Chains A and B, each alone.
Chain A
Amino acid sequence: MKTVTPAAATGALLTVRGLEGWYGESHVLHGIDIDVRTGEVITLLGRNGAGKTTTLRAIIGILGKRAGSIVYDGVETIRMASRNIARLGIGYVPEERGIFASLTVHENLMLPPRVKPGGMSVAEIHTLFPNLKERAGSQGTKLSGGEQQMLAIGRILRTGAKLILLDEPTEGLAPVIVQQIGRTIQQLKAQGYTIILVEQNFRFAQTLADRHFVIEQGRVVDMIPNAELDANIDKLHAYLGV
């Protein structure tokens, strides 16, 4: 058994301890432990259904029922409503991207309220993703999959959130778009953002992350620093079943 450091003692930006989560009656998370330090990019790796997306949903507080401890920036959030968790400075980019069909691209971009000072200006976001500027008046869901992903990330960057939860941002996208998303994440990391990335493609994750948490059946079964990823490649293949 590994010993678990108490949440308060880690000095991390986000400390998750013994996180349990349910979808209705089914118990999905069985005690997740994760620390994320300020400015770090970590990934959650694991097979489909292991609990990666559920972990992100639990952190932002939109899972029906959760228990354990999630401390962000010194604040225990396990009993907080998701709107108050977001207001602490956590931005959520969901797997399905969550672009609103009844809003234009610009309205989608402007929708999430500013939660902290220091968010990007619209001009900066347009520099990062020029397509969003060209198509500002289009219906949000008329964008291509890659553009929708950029919009989903861009609108969070406006809010001043310092911790960004990115759920499979490259899923279903063309390689050239995947590269662009990868460069964006690197830029964000260089600007001091802290990022939790759920990713199926660990080759992509390897180019970005500091550490990788492997999740299996609702538990963290391993943590691999990025520098040791290649040395642990066989173990990882076994975890992921690839």
Chain B
Amino acid sequence: MTTIFGVPMQALFGQLLLGLINGSFYAILSLGLAIIFGLLNIINFAHGALYMMGAFVAWMLLTYVGLGYWWALGLAPLVVGAFGIVLERVLIARLYKLDHLYGLLLTFGLALIIQGLFRNQYGVSGLPYAIPTELSGGQRLPFMFLPNYRAWVVVASLTVCIATWLVIEKTKLGAYLRAATENPTLVQAFGVNVPLFLTLTYGFGVALAGFAGVLAAPIYSVNPNMGADIIIVVFAVVVIGGMGSIIGSVITGFTLGLVEGLTKVFYPEASATVIFVIMVLVLLVKPAGLFGRTA
């Protein structure tokens, strides 16, 4: 069998793919966090819970309404986004004039409540969600077996990230968003309804989390704790990429997923901590993050 540095090719590519899948989730989730933090100055700790909610909405649509995966991929982000809009209007909007810490505490509390409600209702053993038939099976590549669904997750995630980036960087809407991130008072003084922008941005950011949740449902089991497990890593990704940097969060998300995968091959003992070690190193050398702008 072919080996690289004494590691079988099969294992190497298998772990790289797994890393890329994890990276896809890191990227979408940290992208949402970065957009929300950039404009609202809110460290959205509820992000993981809303990702979990996206997966549950997909499961509920299938179980109670009979709507399958493709419906869920469109509807679940809308449901989660609408839920986020209510949260923003009713609760988060009251905190903008206060320190970051209050937003963090509020959203952390919300995460606990949302997770608790789902745990109460559905337990913690996890609910199965089948891969849609169109994407079952896989491709036998020369060096590995590539499951179709996993390839789809990477493609879908990349597409959503790039589309979001294009909207932010290349459109008028994105120009408002960037300007309001820099100086909301002045944008408001030009006659732009900035509070509406904040609400829609929060809704969009958490809709991304809901979308990631649907993508994740067939890979991981649908579990109330799935958000809490991933969100800590995602926050490390955001810190490494630089709080509020859009493209930085996407690149860092995919890269760190791959780094994690490689670590599993070459030094499995460190695979759970490698991202945090990188975070510490980055904070020591570039406190604003790799792509962050120092204010």
- 1/0 per position for B72-116, CB-CB distance to A under 8 A? 000000000000000000000000000000000000000000000
**Is B192 positioned at the interface, with any CB of A under 8 Å from its CB?**
yes
Which residues 160-206 in B have Cβ within 8 Å of A in the complex?
172, 175-176, 178-179, 181-183, 185-194
Q: Which of A43-51, A93-101, A123-131, A232-240 forms part of the interface with chain B?
A: A93-101
Which residues 262-294 in B have Cβ within 8 Å of A in the complex?
none
- Give the residue of A61, A62, A110 whose beta carbon is less than 8 angstroms from that of B175: A110
Q: Which residues of B contact A62 (CB under 8 A)?
A: 185-186, 188-189
Output the least CB separation between A110 and chain B (Å): 7
Which residues 182-222 in A have Cβ within 8 Å of B in the complex?
none
- The answer on a CB contact under 8 Å between B179 and A115 is no
**Is A15 positioned at the interface, with any CB of B under 8 Å from its CB?**
no
**Is A65 positioned at the interface, with any CB of B under 8 Å from its CB?**
no
- Give the residue of B176, B179, B182, B192 whose beta carbon is less than 8 angstroms from that of A83: B192
Residue ID in chain A nearest B183 by CB atoms: A98
- Give the residue of A82, A94, A107 whose beta carbon is less than 8 angstroms from that of B188: A82
A151 to B196, CA, bound (A): 26
Main secondary structure of the interface of A (DSSP, over half): loop
- The answer on a CB contact under 8 Å between A111 and B179 is yes
Q: Which residues of A contact B172 (CB under 8 A)?
A: 110
Residue ID in chain A nearest B177 by CB atoms: A102
Q: Which residues of A contact B178 (CB under 8 A)?
A: 100, 102-103
**Is A75 positioned at the interface, with any CB of B under 8 Å from its CB?**
no
- The answer on a CB contact under 8 Å between B194 and A100 is no
Output the least CB separation between A99 and chain B (Å): 10
A81 to B187, CA, bound (A): 12
- The answer on a CB contact under 8 Å between B175 and A107 is yes
A225 to B176, CA, bound (A): 41
Q: Which residues of B contact A55 (CB under 8 A)?
A: none
- The answer on a CB contact under 8 Å between A113 and B185 is no
- The answer on a CB contact under 8 Å between A98 and B181 is no
Using A101-B182, A102-B182 as known contacts, say yes or no to A82 and B176 having CB atoms under 8 A apart.
no
**Is A74 positioned at the interface, with any CB of B under 8 Å from its CB?**
no
**Is A132 positioned at the interface, with any CB of B under 8 Å from its CB?**
no
Q: Which residues of B contact A101 (CB under 8 A)?
A: 182
**Is A118 positioned at the interface, with any CB of B under 8 Å from its CB?**
no
Residue ID in chain B nearest A104 by CB atoms: B175
- The answer on a CB contact under 8 Å between A86 and B182 is no
Output the least CB separation between A142 and chain B (Å): 14
A94 to B181, CA, bound (A): 18
Output the least CB separation between A86 and chain B (Å): 4
Chain A residues with a Cβ under 8 A of chain B: 60-62, 81-87, 92, 94, 98, 100-103, 107, 110-113, 115, 159
A-B contact pairs, 15 of them (CB 8 A): A61-B189, A82-B189, A83-B191, A83-B193, A87-B191, A92-B190, A94-B186, A100-B179, A102-B178, A103-B175, A103-B178, A111-B176, A111-B187, A112-B190, A159-B191
